[in-house]
Structure 1
Amino acid sequence: MSNLAAEPEFEQAVHEISSTIEPFLAAHPEYRKAFEVVQIPERIIQFRVTWERDDGSVAVNRAFRVQFNSALGPYKGGLRLHPTVNLSVLKFLGFEQIFKNALTGLSMGGGKGGSDFDPKGKSDNEIRRFCYAFMLELSRHIGADTDIPAGDIGTGGREIGFMFGAYKKYQNEFAGILTGKGDDWGGSFIRPEATGYGLVYYVTEMLRDLDNTDWVGKRVLISGSGNVAQFAALKVIELGGHVLSFSDSTGALIATDGVGFTPADIAAIADVKLRRQALTAFQHDGRFEWHEGQRPWTLFESADVALPSATQNEVSEDEAKALVAAGVRYVAEGSNMGCTQEAIDVFEATRKQCTSEGETAGVTWYAPGKAANCGGVAVSGLEMGQNSQRLKWSHQEVDAKLKDIMITCYTNCRETGKTYVRDSAIPSLVSGANIAGFVKVAKAMLDQGDWWISGK
């Protein structure tokens, strides 16, 4: 086993799963061995990347690919380019990816990779040189039936294009070895929108089940300002809600007029982020308030929905209490592990107070990222299917398939939560997601001999 004390993000991810699947393990103790096995990656690839800066000097970065679990299909998961990338972060993301991919219902294993390279402040030529150097090593370890990486933080369409071009030159083949590709060379429609859209589709089911309501008039707090935040906001607005916040690492931008951001505002924010600028570069003529160094969660006295969509651990215990005090009824993660364990405990405590059907006052219902944000990897899986068949589905076809996947995922989480966690009249979506994902993966591993039950 790994020394988890040196891997805090991975330790948190393991604890979050282990603490919520205990009702299943208590009923089926033989599966404890499966959980022990699944925590260890099948393979970790670590390598250096040397590349040339524009001034001719040599730069070097660390890079990784964690091929965590292939029980359900080839490894699938993004490549993150960010200074904070280390093995703990990638193991946490890869571990989450195993169960997230299982919840999509598609044939995908779990993996994650990336480098501590920072694209910010780099020229296009420097990014191209890095991507070619990065793929020179990574290309030996991936393939359309082995490991299919995707984009992630710092890895957008430009970087995917460079990496795909590098792979094609090194391996002399045009293959579906990356997802998030351009529309004209193997990409799928609505891949950039998929995580944000899927998040909203998932919460739509939560709204209907808890309060028999929809998005019309809902006051929605969103963190982040990248693809996930932007497209979740656009879908919320399309369905009648009001988006009241965005944020980035420098602070939070909030609306105080009750109407919120418009699609035109979001297009302008997207342009700012495309140019790798801070949110402060967004020109709004004083229509919004800027809060330096803050996140949106403590800045509102009243709201209905919170969608953390920036990065891990972006909602603390105190911020969770502030959201509950503001009357937020729904929290769903667009980011991976967006809430700390202490924040999750705050939300789950409100759910446990509901002892009878229909009495939901004071409840803040929480949905974990591995379920609520699995729309992105779901459409990556659909892209893989299109690549295998050498065809392209329409925007409407992909969107319909995405919506069906998210509804099925939600139903699976809700019903599994009802089956194994009977501590409230409202099912635990986090327990349901973790148990459903784990059981599917563990059964496949049992069938394939990765673990076995003594005496059988």
Structure 2
Amino acid sequence: MSVLDEKLQNEFDKVLRRNPGEGEFHQAVHEVLDSLGPVVAKHPEYAEAAIISRLCEPERQIIFRVPWVDDSGQVQINRGFRVEFNSALGPYKGGLRFHPTVYLGIVKFLGFEQIFKNALTGLPIGGGKGGSDFDPKGRSNAEVMRFCQSFMTELYRHIGEHTDVPAGDIGVGGREIGYLFGQYKRITNRYESGVLTGKGLTWGGSQVRTEATGYGAVFFVDEILRSRGDSLDGKRVVVSGSGNVAVYAIEKLQQLGAIVVACSDSGGYVVDDAGIDLALLKDVKETRRERISTYAAERDGATYVERGSVWDVPCAIAIPAATQNELHGADAKTLIANGCQVVAEGANMPCTPEAVRAFTEVGVAFAPGKAANAGGVATSALEMQQNASRDSWSFAHTEERLAEIMRNIHDRCLTTADEYGKPGNYLAGANIAGFTQVADGMLALGVI
């Protein structure tokens, strides 16, 4: 990691001491602090009010046992988490992740990122995150339902449309949100639609929510290119992953004229120089829930590479959309050597610090996840608006609102970077713009 300003290094040392063993959280905090040297110099009031120390300490951390019974009658025990990080701008907002790798450090890293991401949307939402080390893969619908009901039986007392509004993340899609909401409704005897987002369209959900994170990342890339007098038309793109974010990033890229030539899953990646067949990809990954190798087996001209790195495929634009720390320094050097111009994080913190440094040193436009993938939570906030007004918007209207929000985030990042002497640096712009908005909110509310 790079050397921080002395005052900021002291703050980071505190984070290391107070949160041992939480590497992802340390990385997320360092990434933000690395941009804040000119901010603390310009605003001594932030130091006087201990804003950074307060920001790095969650307002509330909830850890609980989740007992449930599997289909064979065996009792299983998982661990549940909800970190309510910061509510200076509004109720805590952030997804739930169900994956075996989930532990407190992962949830805190995601929640910390969420504070600034949510601030950048310009919508009144604070930052939080949650999840469990439960793995829904290979589990029956009945097992997933029983787990979700047990999880919500504890979580319900900590959430509410004016308190904390969870959504989905890795391992938590429409099925899981439905089971969670059903249990919340049963326990509370209230149809409080705004307590969860990512709901089905027939029971309070929003158009474009499924597509929002992927679409939003592409809108951001489009704005980067427009600011440089360029466009997506004919651009060769590589997208990592093949889950929700990746699939809908590919969809919007193709709509805007780009050629997506590769995508991946945990087993390997496919290369399709003619352009990914989106209908086949959706059938393989969303309907049949099979491995990406099946796509290559059924698509003429496509090749499958087991393991390896999808970033070996030459491209003009790279969108890492799988998981944290998937794109390493060596991958970044390969992308740079192959002429990559833009990297936009579709996932949360998918680029390691070494990769980010490599991109910024050579002038590759690097859009951090807190800016580029904010479309998901932005559309969740739009879902909350619709729930509060008992309204339902059209797909076209909601997509236009999303595009407008992403344009505003892009412009705000550039403007802020210029203001603080970092012209063209989207990472610095996103970190500073998000931080100052939250910091000003915290100052206004006093020491709480």
TM over 0.5: yes
Contact residue 92 and residue 128 of structure 2 kept, 8 A? yes
Contact residue 327 and residue 350 of structure 2 kept, 8 A? yes
CA shift for structure 1 position 427: 1.4
Q: Distance in 2 between matches of 1:115 and 1:195?
A: 22
Task: Determine if the alignment matches structure 1 residue 28 to structure 2 residue 43.
Answer: yes
- Encode CA deviations 1:400-436: one digit per residue, 9 max, x unaligned: 10000000000000100111134xxx51000000000
Q: Distance in 1 between matches of 2:356 and 2:20?
A: 21
Task: Determine if the alignment matches structure 1 residue 109 to structure 2 residue 126.
Answer: yes
SS in 2 for 1:139: helix
CA shift for structure 1 position 5: 3.6
| Partner of residue 355 from structure 2, selected from 333, 338, 343 | 343
Q: In the comparison of the two structures, how many residue pairs are matched?
A: 429
Q: Distance in 2 between matches of 1:230 and 1:165?
A: 28
Contact residue 269 and residue 293 of structure 2 kept, 8 A? no
Q: Distance in 2 between matches of 1:216 and 1:129?
A: 47
Q: Distance in 2 between matches of 1:228 and 1:319?
A: 21
Give the letter for the 1:297 counterpart: W
Q: Distance in 1 between matches of 2:412 and 2:124?
A: 17
Q: Distance in 1 between matches of 2:20 and 2:359?
A: 26
Q: Distance in 2 between matches of 1:37 and 1:213?
A: 42
Alignment of 1:221-300 (within 5 A): 221-255=238-272, 257=273, 259-271=274-286, 274-282=287-295, 283-298=297-312, 300=313
Contact residue 225 and residue 269 of structure 1 kept, 8 A? no
Match of 1:205 in 2: 223
CA shift for structure 1 position 269: 3.5
| Partner of residue 433 from structure 2, selected from 426, 431, 436 | 436
- Encode CA deviations 1:76-120: one digit per residue, 9 max, x unaligned: 000000000000000000000000000000010000000000000
Q: Distance in 1 between matches of 2:124 and 2:377?
A: 11
CA shift for structure 1 position 294: 2.2
Q: How has the CA–CA distance of structure 1 residues 401 and 285 changed in structure 2, closer, same or farther, with 3 Å as cutoff?
A: closer
Alignment of 1:53-92 (within 5 A): 53-92=70-109
Alignment of 1:108-147 (within 5 A): 108-147=125-164
CA RMSD of aligned residues (A): 1.2
- Encode CA deviations 1:269-302: one digit per residue, 9 max, x unaligned: 333xx4443222334245211111123112x2x3
TM-score by length of 1: 0.92
SS in 2 for 1:225: coil
Give the letter for the 1:303 counterpart: C
Q: Distance in 2 between matches of 1:206 and 1:163?
A: 38
Contact residue 202 and residue 372 of structure 1 kept, 8 A? yes
Match of 2:187 in 1: 170
CA shift for structure 1 position 253: 1.1
Give the letter for the 1:434 counterpart: N
Contact residue 414 and residue 429 of structure 2 kept, 8 A? yes
Q: Distance in 1 between matches of 2:401 and 2:123?
A: 12
Give the letter for the 1:431 counterpart: A
Contact residue 223 and residue 295 of structure 1 kept, 8 A? no
Q: Distance in 2 between matches of 1:137 and 1:83?
A: 20
Match of 2:7 in 1: none
Q: Distance in 2 between matches of 1:218 and 1:265?
A: 22
Dislocated runs of 4+, deviation >4 Å? none
Q: Distance in 1 between matches of 2:55 and 2:394?
A: 37
Contact residue 120 and residue 276 of structure 1 kept, 8 A? no
- Counting aligned pairs with the same residue, the percent is 51
SS in 2 for 1:67: strand
